[in-house]
Amino acid sequence: MQRPEFALAIHGGAGTLTRSTMTPEQETEYRTTLHLAMVAGQACLASGQHALDAVCAAVAVMEDSPLFNAGRGAVFTHEGHNEMDAAVMVGQGRDAGAVCQITGIKNPVLAARAVMEKSNHVMLAGAGARAFAEDAGLETAPAEYFHTEARYQQLLAVRDSNAAVLDHDGAHKLAFADKKFGTVGAVALDRFGQLAAATSTGGLTNKRWGRIGDSPVIGAGTWADDKVAISGTGTGEVFLRACAAHEISARMRYLNEDAATAAAAVMAELGTMGGQGGLIVIDAQGHITLPFNTEGMYRGQLVAGGEIEVAIYRDSES
């Protein structure tokens, strides 16, 4: 099959996403925002911009929405703060940048990009990451911007427990089956044949002690090389232990598996390790695969010449 001019895929988290847990109005909100994120990425790719531009544009739309656990919708730490993580990576040269425990920056994905493009480092954390982002001219926002009432009520529901909840929109439901993983991400192939990935998250509701998950860790929740780009969402500690994103690339390189086969194998391995969540994967030929082992995953995909597709549920009427 001839390589398409460009291709794009996004995710907005995975988990117990069923029609019975969502009102029609909520579903419309999510689908609309997913579509807007896809349109933003598509516009970059169609105008000849690079894959990195597209993934950052798509992720920024989701960061600006209170619906997703990233940017404005980031969950609260035990202390009542919003600490955010993000990473970007481009396949050509494997350049990468990441921030973790960053506060007050409107779009953490752009801070991660600035680390990659304007520093000699790959990952910056905490106050240093914020200072760097401010020096780079990125837009800041007051604490009130990140204070969404639904997220704050999630914190209050679990604050007195020892639970750190991986929940997209209902942390008051503590049963594992009710957890939702709200990380957002995007992967893209541009007309120049370059691949890129971006991931952004607010982490866990009620997280403590400076906990950091897989999203900003290159090779765990985010990866891109000359063969494949990956962004993940799910049980961060398991994705970290499995080096999940890089493992897909390794299987493609050393076992000569295609992206879909490699991603399915890694998703299965994550499951055996107790991990739940999903992956978005795009290869150098523009093939997209979106495996997940939960009941649903907020997702979208597009290949040049086709229509934008967005989906939430696992079934055929997604």
User: Catalytic amino acids?
Assistant: 183
The response to whether 71 counts as a known ligand-binding position is no
Q: Flag whether 137 is marked binding.
A: no
End-to-end alpha-carbon separation of the chain, Å? 26
Q: What is the DSSP letter of 4?
A: P
3-state secondary structure of 216: coil
Candidates 169, 212, 176; CA nearest to 75 is 169
Q: Give the three-class secondary structure for 195.
A: strand
- Could you tell me if 219 and 240 are in contact, meaning their C-beta atoms sit under 8 angstroms apart? no
31 annotated as a binding-site residue: no
Whose structure tokens read 């050393």?
A: 254
Residue 236 annotated in ligand binding: yes
Q: Is 232 annotated as a binding residue?
A: no
202 is in an annotated binding site: no
With 0-12 CB in 10 A as exposed, 13-18 as middle and 19+ as buried, what is 314?
middle
- Look at the block and give the residue holding tokens 């950052």: 56
Residues 6+ away with beta carbon under 8 Å from 135:
none
* Binding-site annotation: residue ranges: 211-214, 233-236
* Binding-site annotation: residue ranges for substrate: 211-214, 233-236
